[in-house]
Amino acid sequence: RVSSDGKPPKFQPPPKPVIIDRKTQKEQSRFLSPEFIPPRGRTDPLKYYIERKDMIQRRKVFNIPEFYVGHVLAVTTANPHTSDKSNRFVGICIQRGGKGLGATFVLRNVIEDQGVEICYELYSPRIQAIEVLRLEKRLDENLMYLRDALPEYSTFDVNMKPAPRMDHEEIPVNKLQVRMKPKPWSKRWERPKYNIKGIKFELPERKMQAAQKWSQPWLEFDMLREYDTSKIEEKIRKELSEELGK
Amino acid sequence: MMPIWTKSGEKHAVTLLKVQDCHVLRYVSKEESGGKTAKLLVGGKNVSPFSKPESAHEIFKEAGVPRKQKVTTFNVTEDAIIKPGTPLYAAHFRPGQFVDVTAKTIGKGFQGVMKRWGFKGQPASHGQTKTHRRPGAISTNKAAKVYRGKKMPGKMGNIYRTSFGLKVWRINTKHDIIYVNGSVPGHTNCLVKVKDSKLPTYKDCNKNPPFPTFFADGDEELPEDLFDEEIFQFTDPSVTFA
């Protein structure tokens, strides 16, 4: 800075040190199941409050573990038509949909060369147990492209043992790039609309650039689509921790 | 709308209806109204009194109640008369009962004949000139006129319609919410009229209803949630088949 009087410049005190508190950071990154976050709409918030009370009630009786898309789960459901009245299915979670009590998750596995996908409801009373066998997140939140990938990526051993979990902190992200069957696929996964990072595209460069024609770069700047859930999430986390702590 | 599960594991979809500030406004006797039964005027959902003239507030002032958005009539027998000014609650209905729900359907505006009446229209190609969604012929040659009530394009929706025979699964007395089976006409947060069902199959299903209505200052202490017998309550463990 140019000094006004020819005197040495005014003493600027050094900036204050920023203290990052490890404990509060840990609490902030705690997991909130996505079906608790209410969608944007004109419904009365009382409806979501009452649904949440029911969901908390069910969670008190039956443990729904924390899981993401990409985890390998084993689900036992009650089935009146089998001899031991229960049915166990192991698979990788490819999608978590729905909000509130109707929340669902889809498990996929390949059994005897036949791909099988089952859509379970999280809060259905017929589910007797959910076990997490392998904990790993993937690069995408929707793994529907496994239908067009080679079957080796969707096969999981039915009698798999639960992998031992080391820390109670981070869930590892598997940066696996999946190889696909030859085209045609069920959806054009190379298009920017799906924004898939977990496929190893072996298509020629020309086709990849032609797919970019359908990109909509203005979407990320569209302010009307922004839905800031941070405050809603905080309130719901507080409510959950109070209720489940009781 | 929300899912609900029975004890055998079946899922049913359920609509939530909130009873918001309902009060009885006036009693109209059989002779006065000229009908077969006495009527009770009931109003629901409080609204600001400043948007209507003073003359419209007379009914509400007599009953001692703030101005209501909607006023409906219920035909009642002589023994079910309630004093004007009494509040009505969701506990008036009990789980296991069957109700009819009336509301104005979602307005779709001016619609063509395919959406409004389900006509098939014409094919998209094979030589059709400018005719894909039109009604086609509107009458015969011999009639030499168009009949009254001919299905034609016009304003669709925004009319009163009723869903009959809906089962009440659950009642929340704390927030005054009725859980009614299936879907109900109208958009989210619209005003809806709930009556006991007039269908002959459900004539004798209501055994011991609160008669004439549920009074909050009475002796009865109801639990916060009233469930039907077949509902799976979330306090129970998961369903197992023996």
Domain that holds residue B62: 21-88
Burial zone of A42 (CB within 10 Å; 0-12 exposed, 13-18 middle, 19+ buried): exposed
- Cα B72 to Cα B60: distance, rounded to the nearest angstrom: 13
In the three-class reduction of DSSP (H, G, I as helix; E, B as strand; rest coil), residue B162 is classed as: strand
Which of A46, A80, A124 comes nearest B241 by C-beta?
A80
Helices vs. strands in chain B: H and E counts, helices first: 3, 13
Closest CA to A58 of A105, A126, A119: A126
The pLDDT of residue B65 is 92
Q: What is the pTM of this model?
A: 0.86
Cross-chain Cβ contact A128/B238 below 8 Å: yes
Average pLDDT over residues B94-109: 94
Cross-chain Cβ contact A43/B11 below 8 Å: no
Cross-chain Cβ contact B234/A102 below 8 Å: no
| Chain A residues within 8 A of B235 when measuring between CB atoms | 57, 61
Residue with tokens 């309902």: B22
Beta carbons within 8 Å of B146's beta carbon, 6+ residues apart: B138, B139
Which of B16, B234, B238 comes nearest A47 by C-beta?
B16
Which of B18, B234, B241 comes nearest A78 by C-beta?
B241
- B8-40 CB burial, b ≥16 within 10 A, e <16: ebebbebbbbbbbbbbbbbeeeeeeeeeeebbb
Residue with tokens 């059709």: B128
Q: Is residue B78 located within the same domain as residue B35?
A: yes
Residues of B in CB contact (< 8 Å) with A are: 2-3, 5, 9, 11, 16, 18, 172, 175, 177, 188-189, 232, 234-242
Q: List C-alpha distances in Å: B108 to B57, B157, B158, B160, B187.
A: 32, 5, 8, 14, 11
Q: How far is A70 from chain B (nearest CA, A)?
A: 26
Q: Is residue B13 located within the same domain as residue B25?
A: no
Residue A192: band (very low, low, confident or very high) from pLDDT cuts 50, 70, 90: very high
Residue B189: band (very low, low, confident or very high) from pLDDT cuts 50, 70, 90: very high
Residue B5: band (very low, low, confident or very high) from pLDDT cuts 50, 70, 90: very high
Q: Is residue B76 located within the same domain as residue B179?
A: no
Average pLDDT over residues B68-92: 91
Q: What fold is seen in the domain A45-174?
A: SH3 type barrels. (2.30.30)
Residue A2: band (very low, low, confident or very high) from pLDDT cuts 50, 70, 90: low
Q: Is residue B196 located within the same domain as residue B97?
A: yes
- Pick the range with the lowest mean pLDDT from A4-8, A122-126, B214-218: A4-8
The answer to whether the complex's ipTM is over 0.95 is no
Q: Is residue B100 located within the same domain as residue B220?
A: yes
In a domain, B116, yes or no: no
The pLDDT of residue B205 is 82
In a domain, B160, yes or no: yes
Which DSSP state fits A186? S
The pLDDT of residue A236 is 93
Q: Is residue B101 located within the same domain as residue B176?
A: yes
Which pLDDT tens digit goes with each residue over A60-96?
Answer: 999 898 889 999 999 999 988 888 888 999 999 999 9
Measured between CA atoms, the residue of chain B closest to residue A82 is B241
- Res A170 pLDDT > 90: no
CATH at B9: 2.40.30.10
In a domain, B134, yes or no: no
Q: Is residue B8 located within the same domain as residue B31?
A: no
CATH at B69: 3.30.160.810
Measured between CA atoms, the residue of chain A closest to residue B7 is A125
Q: Is residue B189 located within the same domain as residue B215?
A: yes
In a domain, B119, yes or no: no
- Hey, what are B118's tokens? 């389900």
In the three-class reduction of DSSP (H, G, I as helix; E, B as strand; rest coil), residue B55 is classed as: helix
Mean pLDDT computed over every residue of chain B: 91
- Res A52 pLDDT > 70: yes
Q: Is residue B2 located within the same domain as residue B59?
A: no
The pLDDT of residue B208 is 79
Q: Domain boundaries in chain A?
A: 45-174
Measured between CA atoms, the residue of chain A closest to residue B13 is A102
The pLDDT of residue A7 is 80
Backbone angles phi, psi at B122, to 5 degrees: -125, 165
Which of A51, A85, A123 comes nearest B241 by C-beta?
A85
The pLDDT of residue A22 is 67
In a domain, B57, yes or no: yes
Whether residue B41 contacts residue B24, with contact meaning beta carbons closer than 8 Å, is answered with yes
The pLDDT of residue B32 is 87
In a domain, B136, yes or no: no
Measured between CA atoms, the residue of chain B closest to residue A59 is B234
The pLDDT of residue B217 is 82
- Pick the range with the lowest mean pLDDT from A1-15, A137-151, B4-18, B23-37: A1-15
Q: Is residue B72 located within the same domain as residue B168?
A: no
Instruction: Tell how far CA A109 is from the center of its chain.
Output: 18
Beta carbons within 8 Å of B40's beta carbon, 6+ residues apart: B24, B26, B27, B28, B73, B74, B76, B81, B82
Residue A162: band (very low, low, confident or very high) from pLDDT cuts 50, 70, 90: confident
In a domain, B128, yes or no: no
A52-56 contact pairs (CB < 8 A, 24+): A52/A100, A52/A236, A52/A239, A54/A101, A54/A123, A54/B234, A55/A100, A55/A101, A55/A123, A56/A239, A56/A240, A56/A243, A56/A244
Cross-chain Cβ contact A78/B238 below 8 Å: yes
Closest CA to B74 of B25, B17, B32, B31: B25
Whether residue B186 contacts residue B104, with contact meaning beta carbons closer than 8 Å, is answered with yes
Average pLDDT over residues B211-232: 86
Which of B9, B189, B234 comes nearest A58 by C-beta?
B234
In a domain, B124, yes or no: no
